[in-house]
A and B are shown apart, each in its own frame.
Chain A
Amino acid sequence: MNVLQAHLRLAQGGFVLDAQFEAPANAITALFGPSGGGKTTLLSALAGLKHSQGSITLNERDVGAIAAHQRGFGLVFQDARLFPHLTTGQNLAYARRRAPNSKLELADVAGFFDIATLLDRPVRNLSGGEKSRVALARALICAPEFLLLDEPFAALDGPRRRAFIQVLLAAHRKFQIPMLIVSHSIDDAAALASYLVVLNQGRVVAQGPFAETALSSSFQALLDPRDIGTALSSAALRSAAQADVQSLWLRADHVLIASEPPKKLSARNILEGRITAITWEADLSLLVQLATAAGPVLSRVTQEAAQDLELQVKKTAWAVIKAHAV
């Protein structure tokens, strides 16, 4: 069942947004696309902060003509936008007071996000990671029907970014609120989302279940060539990160191909499969697609390697992946 259906049209300067998409209930949907593709604009239009034509249906209610504060969307901004004249706790209380039907208690939410000790602090004294958690807590405590997130970890570095992804996934499980999260990092999108909407130049060029949609040529064409790959369930791979995430993004550049069952390798993942396609890339390398029990896997090989291994469609081959590559 789709909780959100939208067809948005708006023109802004020379940019035209004409996006039709949906998002399933009880899922995290990633809104992915190159910078300048209109992701933030689309989010603002959904939320009602920007005027748009078209229709927005949220939980079977047409909210397209309703003011932003009554639409039922929550929004976590890239910059946390905490109120500087209030303490952390007052920021949360601000949201809680305006949602009288919310069943969430401030203390519980603060405990969940590990910010209970920060409640008396002015928000200017919070670190980047703390600000992100407070902003997320503040949005959730307002009990939105649907939560929009605009690259909420843009300001966070590697380890804190991964930690925040864990917090987001845990929050999604606990609060059961469908989310649409803007990201231009394929790893983050794969880690979080089970559904994918791809936006390019103001249009939705692909959408559907994550792994399937990520395999489509219109999506792969938008990726940096180094990022080309596939999404695999985290259960199917041994990952050094051992993160409890939705799926892992496996880059074609990180996958070796063997034409015989490999022995005595340090790599922790060996997936047997059948070659389903071999395609030329612009740099004259070859992309080999392998259908494995864990799902499709892409590997990039040189022309020479493909000849040596006599790689052909329908032949059996083994994909070799280091645990540290995912």
Chain B
Amino acid sequence: MLSPAELEILSTSFAVAWRALIFSLPFAIAVAFLLSRPGTPGRLILDGLAHLPLILPPVLVGFLLLLIFGRRGPLGALLGQWFGVHLAFTTAGAALATAVMSFPLLVRSIRLAFEATDARLFEAAAMLRAGPWDRFVSIALPLAGPGIIAGAVTAFAASMGEFGAVITFAANIPGQTQTLPLAIYTVLQEPGGEDEALRLAVMSFAVAMLGLIAAEFLQRRARKRLFG
């Protein structure tokens, strides 16, 4: 049904989206939690920073990543020197670009989940000798769990479609950084590529729909388990 080339594109897309999620999820949870707490200092600035990738042109995000994480960029040079890791033009780089782009989406949905949890329960936990970190792990995380899962799955599905930042920072290398939208772009550059583009578009559509349905399903199941 799918050609080997198409399978490779799909598996590259998954590999990138997976890594992007693993990169961004811990940060997104931390930022979303801080944003959901009224007392956090510098909340407005943090909020702005977290949403920046949503406003900036994706190509610009890719370019900024090149400046910072490219071989001669301040962080890129350090990573290369110390760990021998190069991000630009690699699968990991594509994942980083995707992670940055999907970050606002992830933060938004996780923040909503944290805001929906009853803050008075944290007080109750504090009166049972639970410290701040304990309260976060034992109360905030499990109660926001369904929302976090749904946000992660949605962000994963959206990650499969990231284009501008990926092509700028990680280029368009088949088998490494060529994800679904990059492949569609590539076949459209060639005469007579519309049929193949259509096939890839259907694959994109299917993955996105599956992701959204899975997010809804997981959230419902988790809610039911938690709150009946």
- Chain A residues in contact with chain B, CB under 8 A? 47-49, 67-70, 73-75, 77, 79, 81-85, 94-95, 98-99, 122, 124-125, 138-139, 142
Number of A-B contacts defined by CB within 8 Å? 68
Evaluate contact between A83 and B139: CB separation under 8 angstroms: yes
Evaluate contact between B123 and A69: CB separation under 8 angstroms: no
Evaluate contact between B127 and A75: CB separation under 8 angstroms: yes
With contact pairs A81-B120, A85-B226, A124-B227 given, residues A69 and B127 touching in the complex (Cβ less than 8 Å): yes
Evaluate contact between A81 and B121: CB separation under 8 angstroms: yes
Cβ of B228: which chain A residues have Cβ within 8 Å of it? Answer: 122, 124-125
Residue B128 lies at the interface, judged by CB distance under 8 Å to chain A? yes
Evaluate contact between A95 and B128: CB separation under 8 angstroms: yes
Evaluate contact between A84 and B120: CB separation under 8 angstroms: no
The listed residue (A74, A98, A124) touching B130 by CB distance below 8 A is A98
Evaluate contact between B226 and A84: CB separation under 8 angstroms: yes
With contact pairs A85-B142, A122-B228 given, residues A142 and B124 touching in the complex (Cβ less than 8 Å): no
Residue B143 lies at the interface, judged by CB distance under 8 Å to chain A? yes
For the complex, count residues of B whose C-beta is within 8 A of A. Answer: 19
User: Assuming A70-B129, A94-B128, what are 20 further A-B pairs, CB within 8 angstroms?
Assistant: A69-B127, A69-B129, A69-B134, A70-B131, A74-B128, A75-B123, A77-B120, A77-B123, A81-B120, A81-B123, A83-B125, A83-B139, A85-B227, A94-B138, A95-B128, A95-B129, A99-B129, A139-B127, A139-B128, A142-B128
A190→B118 CA distance, assembly (Å): 34
Q: Name the residue on A nearest B120 (C-beta).
A: A81
Evaluate contact between B130 and A69: CB separation under 8 angstroms: yes
A138→B124 CA distance, assembly (Å): 10
Residue B5 lies at the interface, judged by CB distance under 8 Å to chain A? no
A95→B138 CA distance, assembly (Å): 12
Pick the 3 closest A-B CB pairs, nearest first: A81-B124, A98-B129, A75-B127
Q: Name the residue on A nearest B143 (C-beta).
A: A85
Min CB–CB distance A310 → chain B (angstroms): 58
Cβ of B60: which chain A residues have Cβ within 8 Å of it? Answer: none
Q: Name the residue on B nearest A142 (C-beta).
A: B128
Q: Encode contact with A along B93-124: 1 for CB under 8 Å, 0 otherwise.
A: 00000000000000000000000000011011
A107→B134 CA distance, assembly (Å): 24
Min CB–CB distance A236 → chain B (angstroms): 38
The B137-153 residues at the A interface (CB cut-off 8 A) are 138-139, 142-143
Q: Name the residue on B nearest A94 (C-beta).
A: B128
Min CB–CB distance B175 → chain A (angstroms): 44
Cβ of A73: which chain B residues have Cβ within 8 Å of it? Answer: 127
Min CB–CB distance A248 → chain B (angstroms): 32
Cβ of A125: which chain B residues have Cβ within 8 Å of it? Answer: 228
Cβ of A49: which chain B residues have Cβ within 8 Å of it? Answer: 123, 126-127
Q: Name the residue on A nearest B138 (C-beta).
A: A94
Q: Name the residue on A nearest B123 (C-beta).
A: A49
Cβ of A79: which chain B residues have Cβ within 8 Å of it? Answer: 120
Min CB–CB distance A321 → chain B (angstroms): 41
Q: Name the residue on A nearest B225 (C-beta).
A: A85
A98→B128 CA distance, assembly (Å): 7
